[in-house]
Structure 1
């Protein structure tokens, strides 16, 4: 056997630990979830819904992603953004006018998003941000209301977008809390309903659940133990030896727990890989970028949903590199093009699978960025714009109160920073209700929601999702 094929005890432990990241064993083997909360809305046998969270990590400059195009609205935008303003004839026009008479255009790199918006498959939501309670410009300047901890900080704000608990630094995410309630609705309790394409994250971590981590670079997503993956004859003795080690009973608690966890991870890997090999085929072509390939792997996992025994799934895809303190125009031209193509390809894949009404994709980011230029880029801010895609979306509209893009305006608090007019709680509550969370459970998932929305009203917080 060549040296390159040898595996040390330490290397095996490392590979086995990596594989174990992808298991939900904590859900079924550490906790007894047979009595999981029954208040989640029951689903039908043929029912399937999935949420796909796309995090643009670093803070997307979203007021160039969605910009005004007409009259004084565009002139204010141009004057305030100065050298960062996009030319009016470059903006991709969308068929919508808000109540103030404002018309909009999308970033020139977002041709797929433009078509999806005009086809009413995408909705834009304006000036969303982390909030503990409703706040005005005066409240902010006078510090008379509670503010999110670590405002303008990457570490805190990206955490708060994942937890929707900006009053604390929580290690549990709102999708994790959903999974704590709803995971038992799936036929398969071995693999989590929360699937991550970006490793461990707060968003999908619950009190009883963790994400199942996969990679688009793996043939069928799941990460296994190397000797079992090679299929080479010279690894056969090693595979046999590992099987023997994992099947033994150990007197030492740590050894026994490690062996059990590793075996469970390996079994789950085999199950997931086989499901995607047999049922995870799609014909839609995806680009070669990491983001597009991640979206392809999400689509393949959706294709294998029945084989995996899934009725509910939440996916997490992180696309990093959005902290554009400089070179924002060139960077966004490339990166928003990738986002647009990835969304367009994913929509085609969902239509191919007949699941476009069952899967909703939504955008998040750390925060918006300053309206004003720092020379060649922008700095950390607060409120920003996001988008939601899917057949269940009331698309073709811009929701929320899009602010006037000028300094000293109603929501601008200095330095080109906007106070959000919609909270992440309202945004996520509407997604949760569509997903099947019972109204009575919303405040468990989103503890500050009652500060913004009466959950007993029967109304949707914003209105961008179609009522079931």
Structure 2
């Protein structure tokens, strides 16, 4: 069996915490932190790979703005209208938002497409909000500064892999640490979780978003914890004794390991085996949810997240960061056919997850939010859109300062102050500001937030008002 260290770390098994140097030594690199870890809180990043079109997600609704928007997107609108029995972008079919801060937009109104109905209901009643035009920034930036290159910009704009990484870590592809992991580092440094193994959990493979300096990521599949192939499988070897021998070999029992790589691999392997068994046994004894999750990849991932959250007490955690992922959002063509399906998937899965938190009595303590490579252009290429930059994102949870659009919402016109061209928005809210607001709700103080988010000091506003 070819089971190299690299293949192991990329597998769905656990990669928990503190690699070769040991967790206690890693903590010495941090200042003394005292994050508030009372009660329980979880952040759930729903990453939409490909670049979700924010312009097609939060739609201008007042007559004047809608007409401007419809004129720019007329060819795509015509395609929507040609959908037989499918979605449309006709104004009378949209779902208007009733905003608590409607006065901030000077009479402008906004709506969601019909497929986002389950989340529209949550937002209108105050259990969700929209963060408008958010994206990676180095410093605040406008069109003139962008064109004249008089202020720094994020590296490798409009590249899928790089911008996924920049959104998650402020660095292009190859980055080591993500801001989800760095927030978790602060929790670990404060000894907020009695067992750090399940502090950061991914249901979508290895991700830089969850990787901290001292906290790694525990990976599960969409059906829950994954066992290393061969452990406990007598049928694989044709013997009831060989699985035990195989496990002892993986754990390097009775071996004196002098090579650092061998010790590192053995340590990860031991933690993986133990963590998988702990979680699998806990799953086996947990009662099922009354909430029905959709039979989709995103629905399955969020159901696993909910099941892990339900075990928070037995797993010894008071703070957790989760990452789930879904693809298909690179809508260069046939957007009128793909976006309704994608929106339906987001709405059904995130609504079911929210209802599961209500069922557990912790809807005030869990915040799920969307993120993506980038937004897309306001202009269209007949039946699709091209790579953009800033985008509008959804935040769902009972603790959210809901029924609001947070941040500046550019008008649906071309060549304004925050347009690089073709309606490609320069973000007016930085990911650092968004992350700091989530991190503050998570329990981190200002010193910890600045340590976790080195770029935060470039922005005067570090709390965008997403939580009450």
C-alpha deviation, 1:279, in angstroms: 3.3
C-alpha deviation, 1:321, in angstroms: 1.4
Q: Does residue 146 of the first structure (1) align with residue 152 of the second (2)?
A: yes
Q: Does residue 268 of the first structure (1) align with residue 270 of the second (2)?
A: no
Paired residue for 1:361? 368
Paired residue for 1:249? 255
Paired residue for 2:465? 463
Paired residue for 2:226? 223
Q: Is the 8 A contact 1:38 1:181 kept in 2?
A: no
User: Equivalent residue of 2:241, what SS?
Assistant: helix
C-alpha deviation, 1:13, in angstroms: 8.4
Q: 2:296, 2:390 → 1: CA distance?
A: 28
Aligned residue runs from structure 1 range 37-116, under 5 A: 37-44=31-38, 47-85=39-77, 86-96=89-99, 97=102, 98-116=104-122
C-alpha deviation, 1:299, in angstroms: 0.4
Paired residue for 1:458? none
Q: Structure 2 vs 1, CA of residues 222 and 412 (structure 1 numbering), >3 Å: closer, same or farther?
A: same
User: Equivalent residue of 1:227, what SS?
Assistant: coil
Of 159, 167, 190, which residue of structure 1 is paired with 2:165? Answer: 159
- After the TM superposition, which of the residue ranges 424-433 and 30-39 deviates more from structure 2? 30-39
Q: Structure 2 vs 1, CA of residues 276 and 374 (structure 1 numbering), >3 Å: closer, same or farther?
A: same
Q: Structure 2 vs 1, CA of residues 14 and 127 (structure 1 numbering), >3 Å: closer, same or farther?
A: closer
Of 318, 329, 332, which residue of structure 1 is paired with 2:325? Answer: 318
Q: 1:50, 1:127 → 2: CA distance?
A: 24
Q: Is the 8 A contact 2:198 2:317 kept in 1?
A: no
Q: 1:336, 1:231 → 2: CA distance?
A: 44
Q: 2:340, 2:461 → 1: CA distance?
A: 40
Paired residue for 2:399? 392
Q: 1:118, 1:405 → 2: CA distance?
A: 23
Q: Is the 8 A contact 1:250 1:256 kept in 2?
A: no
Paired residue for 1:5? none
Q: Structure 2 vs 1, CA of residues 107 and 231 (structure 1 numbering), >3 Å: closer, same or farther?
A: farther
Paired residue for 1:342? 349
Paired residue for 1:237? 241
What residue ranges of structure 1 are gaps of 5+ in the alignment? Answer: 1-8, 456-460
Q: 2:15, 2:232 → 1: CA distance?
A: 17
Structure 1 stretches of 4+ moved >4 Å: 11-21, 33-37, 229-235, 254-257
Q: 1:366, 1:288 → 2: CA distance?
A: 25
Aligned residue runs from structure 1 range 365-380, under 5 A: 365-380=372-387
Report the aligned-residue RMSD. 2.3
C-alpha deviation, 1:89, in angstroms: 1.6
Q: Structure 2 vs 1, CA of residues 294 and 274 (structure 1 numbering), >3 Å: closer, same or farther?
A: same
User: Equivalent residue of 1:372, what SS?
Assistant: coil
Q: Structure 2 vs 1, CA of residues 264 and 420 (structure 1 numbering), >3 Å: closer, same or farther?
A: closer
Q: 1:91, 1:348 → 2: CA distance?
A: 24
User: Equivalent residue of 1:385, what SS?
Assistant: strand
Q: 2:353, 2:254 → 1: CA distance?
A: 44
Q: 1:19, 1:287 → 2: CA distance?
A: 26
Q: Is the 8 A contact 2:408 2:428 kept in 1?
A: yes
Q: Is the 8 A contact 2:27 2:214 kept in 1?
A: no
C-alpha deviation, 1:422, in angstroms: 1.1
Q: Is the 8 A contact 1:130 1:161 kept in 2?
A: yes
Q: 1:222, 1:156 → 2: CA distance?
A: 29
Q: 2:21, 2:257 → 1: CA distance?
A: 19
Of 291, 300, 305, which residue of structure 2 is paired with 1:293? Answer: 300
C-alpha deviation, 1:157, in angstroms: 1.2
Paired residue for 1:441? 448
Q: Is the 8 A contact 1:77 1:405 kept in 2?
A: yes
Of 160, 180, 189, which residue of structure 1 is paired with 2:185? Answer: 180
Q: Is the 8 A contact 1:198 1:318 kept in 2?
A: yes
Q: 2:340, 2:312 → 1: CA distance?
A: 35
Paired residue for 2:204? 198
What residue ranges of structure 2 are gaps of 5+ in the alignment? Answer: 78-88
C-alpha deviation, 1:34, in angstroms: 5.6
Aligned residue runs from structure 1 range 418-437, under 5 A: 418-437=425-444
Paired residue for 1:118? 124
Q: Structure 2 vs 1, CA of residues 34 and 15 (structure 1 numbering), >3 Å: closer, same or farther?
A: closer
Q: 2:203, 2:112 → 1: CA distance?
A: 27
Q: Structure 2 vs 1, CA of residues 251 and 61 (structure 1 numbering), >3 Å: closer, same or farther?
A: closer
C-alpha deviation, 1:216, in angstroms: 1.6
C-alpha deviation, 1:257, in angstroms: 4.8
User: What is the TM-score with the length of structure 1 in the denominator?
Assistant: 0.89
